[in-house]
């Protein structure tokens, strides 16, 4: 089974053209896709009440991939004075409490641990991964690297074996090949139930723009061409022979519409329909004409 969705539901304006869509984005999004990645949890651990609302706003078969808080993956290095938690133990406990309503609703697909570009393959970092996985208990956890040393010559199979042995779900990434801070496409599975696929685009210039004032606007500015999506359709078919479910998340969302367009295009290639039953977008309802008092 292949499920396709987007990273976040707030930036895809074309999905919310119909009346009421802009005011109720998550329910409107769920008419198009059955899964979504929650990115806001990377920047702050969200209130359980908000997670409960997200669960109630979506259909029974809807699933969330929730991104781990940045403090849990070492992105906040050098900023410990700004950490709102007394210890890593309390931080992980707060995160687990936050996602509990999604779990209770049966809508948690996985928690995504995306480690930063400087998180290289080393014994101390392997220990960090083991500790993080242990703190998450039985919660399904997907692992995404950004440093190419994990999949360098001689390390690829060792890394995959580690992921399988420790219970991590492998994340297959498509991203620009821009030095050691990016990884190649590693077509593999380490979990019989699920493999995660994240498509970041191939904008090399944008990928290298970190630290620039407009980096968020250009990093994921990319539109996959038909030939590239056809390659992914074939690759996904092979991955379904390795895992029962493959979840594909488009993250090429800097433009506000490329990710959604590409996701729907891939769904059509695979013979899938959106939950709404059609790719057709109804025109927005016209506002009632206001009569002028001065005519």
Phi, psi of 32 (to 5 degrees): -105, -35
Q: What is the pLDDT of residue 281?
A: 73
> Which pLDDT belongs to residue 211?
60
Q: Mean pLDDT of successive 10-residue segments in the chain (295 residues)? A: 94 75 86 96 94 96 97 73 78 96 97 95 96 97 96 94 97 90 94 97 73 64 93 97 97 81 96 93 56 44
Residue ranges of the alpha helices (H) in 170-250? Answer: 204-207, 215-218, 226-239
Contacts (Cβ under 8 Å, ≥6 apart) of 5: 33, 34, 35, 36, 37, 65, 247, 248, 249, 250, 263
pLDDT reported for residue 282: 63
Burial of 264 (C-beta count, 10 Å sphere; 0-12/13-18/19+): buried
Tell me the chain's radius of gyration from C-alpha atoms. 20
pLDDT given at position 292:
46
Question: For residue 109, what pLDDT is reported?
Answer: 98
pLDDT at residue number 293: 42
CA nearest neighbour of 225 among 174, 274, 184:
174
The burial of 295, by beta-carbon neighbours within 10 Å (0-12 exposed, 13-18 middle, 19 or more buried), is given as: exposed
Q: What is the pLDDT of residue 294?
A: 39
CB atoms within 10 A of CB 143: 25
Q: What is the DSSP letter of 14?
A: G
Q: Given this model, what pLDDT does residue 295 score?
A: 43
């Amino acid at each position: 089974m292949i499920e396709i969705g987007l990273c976040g539901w707030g930036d895809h304006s074309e999905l919310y053209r119909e009346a009421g869509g802009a005011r109720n984005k998550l329910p409107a999004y769920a008419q198009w896709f059955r899964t979504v990645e929650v990115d806001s949890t990377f920047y702050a651990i969200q209130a359980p009440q908000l997670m409960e609302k997200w669960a109630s706003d979506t259909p029974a078969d809807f699933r969330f991939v929730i991104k781990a808080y940045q403090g849990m993956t070492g992105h906040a290095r050098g900023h410990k004075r700004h950490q709102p938690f007394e210890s890593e133990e309390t931080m992980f406990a707060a995160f687990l409490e936050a996602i509990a309503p999604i779990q209770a609703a049966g809508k948690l697909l996985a928690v995504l641990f995306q480690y930063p570009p400087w998180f290289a393959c080393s014994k101390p970092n392997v220990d960090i991964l083991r500790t993080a996985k242990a703190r998450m208990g039985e919660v399904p956890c997907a692992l995404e690297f950004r440093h190419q040393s994990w999949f360098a010559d001689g390390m690829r199979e060792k890394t995959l074996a580690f992921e399988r042995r420790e219970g991590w779900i492998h994340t297959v990434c498509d991203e620009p090949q821009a030095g050691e801070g990016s990884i190649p496409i590693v077509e593999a599975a380490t979990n019989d139930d699920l493999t995660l696929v994240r498509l970041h685009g191939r904008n090399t210039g944008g990928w290298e723009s970190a630290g620039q004032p407009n980096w968020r606007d250009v990093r994921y500015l990319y539109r996959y061409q038909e030939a590239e999506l056809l390659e992914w359709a074939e690759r996904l078919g092979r991955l379904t022979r390795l895992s029962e479910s493959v979840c594909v998340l488009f993250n090429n969302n800097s433009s506000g519409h490329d990710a959604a367009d590409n996701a729907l295009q891939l769904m059509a290639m695979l013979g899938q329909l959106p939950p709404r039953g059609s790719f057709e977008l109804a025109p927005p309802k016209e506002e009632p004409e206001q009569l002028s008092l001065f005519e």
